[in-house]
Amino acid sequence: MHWLDRYGYSLNLVSVALWPLSLLFGLAARARRFLYRQGVLKSGGPGVPILVVGNITVGGAGKTPLVARLVELLREAGYKPGVIGRGYGGQSTEWPRYVAADTDPLEVGDEPVLLARRCWCPVVVGPDRVAAARKLFETCDCNVIISDDGLQHYRLRRDLEIAVVDGFRRLGNAACLPAGPLREPPSRLREADFVVGNGAARNGEYLMALDGETAVNLRDPLVSAVLTNFRQCSVHAVAGIGDPWRFFTHLRQAGLRLVEHPFPDHHRFQAGDLQFREDLPVLMTEKDAVKCRHIAPDNGWYVPVSARLDPEFEEQLLKRLGMIAMAKGVRRQLEAPARRSNPNPLPDAAPSRGEPDGQEIAGHSGVSGQQGPAELRQGAAGVDLQGKPAGLSDPRRHSGDVGSRGPTADG
């Protein structure tokens, strides 16, 4: 278990001892953002609308599934979206880099490869997101750019910010690093254009639910099975993502009995990681499957998920984007083009329907010591997403502190 999972989601002696450092961290984060907003530190971009999808917590909150759904949504609305990312963990010696469906995840990171396989759009990654965005705009046919993560990458000038919050873990003990899991103080969420709650949403947030009830065979992606088919025996559940317990909970909700194998986020799997004494099926997330396809056992499977968004959120986002695109001279097609086959398919890649990354699965039982979320709208299986999110109608405004209760580094 990562030390932040142990100490960052409750009040304990370790987090209290580190509290002074977290106050300094939060102050530095605020000062840096202030300098960018005042123009002392310069930001830039290619001149087309840029949407940043990020979070203020360390670890996964559901950004990549949301990015995949946004690509689909924008394409349906007649835009030509492209995606940029950092390429976290990539060992490439040349940046920025194009990412194709068959690019080695060790070179560019696992999430960009997953997005390239699932989104049918250009993907460029690099530590300098401004350079990545310019390369994407100058060399690819796209007129809207989505940044997967990068809420704190202020050198990239953005037009819309979408902050994702884990609907159940929320903001932990609401302290900045190193006492808690926050990259910025909780008040930062009130400055985002939209806040999306993954699995559950509070007032002023929009709900996102993740669906995934089918497993795909790693050796033969043309073979699939519903999760309920695995109820006859126990299964090995493997997850190297930000919150492995979310994936495990999802499988349990399908009625499966698990032997859990959590790994750190972005773990580089070896063949030995997937070899167990019990000859049982091995189920993993799609994000992990990107790295494990060539070392997977015969009974290895991955569980892809798709994001379901509040229709009100999609409507408000398209309205805001339409005004920004008009101001920037970006024109969209009146009729979205028919979806083309993946231009860079892997020979044995499963037929994709646009479902996004499996790194975050809906449903979580919470973390010990954490305040239970108030005024939640659940996003588990079977939820009705047709209702308008509670709270103020203006998506730029959010009611109060959307983080967990208790002492905060927000002062």
Domains of the chain, CATH where assigned:
3-209+308-378 (no CATH), 215-303 (3.40.50)
pLDDT at 120: 87
pLDDT at 85: 95
Using pLDDT thresholds of 50, 70 and 90, give the confidence band for residue 334. low
Residue 145 confidence (pLDDT) above 90: yes
Q: What mean pLDDT is predicted for residues 145-162?
A: 96
- Structure confidence by residue, pLDDT tens digits, 240-284: 887 888 899 999 999 999 999 999 887 888 888 998 988 899 999
Using pLDDT thresholds of 50, 70 and 90, give the confidence band for residue 307. very high
Share of the chain above pLDDT 90, in %: 59
Q: How many whole angstroms separate alpha carbon 398 and alpha carbon 146?
A: 23
The reported pTM is 0.78
In three-state secondary structure terms, 37 is helix
What tokens were used for 341? 């086959």
pLDDT at 397: 37
Residues 6+ apart with CB under 8 A from 137: 46, 47, 48, 82, 145
Q: Are 83 and 145 in contact (CB under 8 A)?
A: yes
pLDDT at 207: 96
Q: Are 377 and 200 in contact (CB under 8 A)?
A: yes
Residue 106 confidence (pLDDT) above 50: yes
Handedness of CA 85, 90, 92, 98 (dihedral sign): negative
Residue 200 confidence (pLDDT) above 70: yes
Residue 95 confidence (pLDDT) above 90: yes
Q: Are strands 214-217 and 300-303 parallel, antiparallel or unpaired?
A: antiparallel
Distances (CA, A) of 104 to 101, 111, 346: 9, 11, 12
Identify residue 118 by its one-letter amino acid code.
R
Residues 6+ apart with CB under 8 A from 80: 121, 141, 142, 143, 144
- Range of lowest pLDDT (125-139, 271-285, 362-376): 362-376
- Range of lowest pLDDT (215-224, 276-285, 327-336, 391-400): 391-400
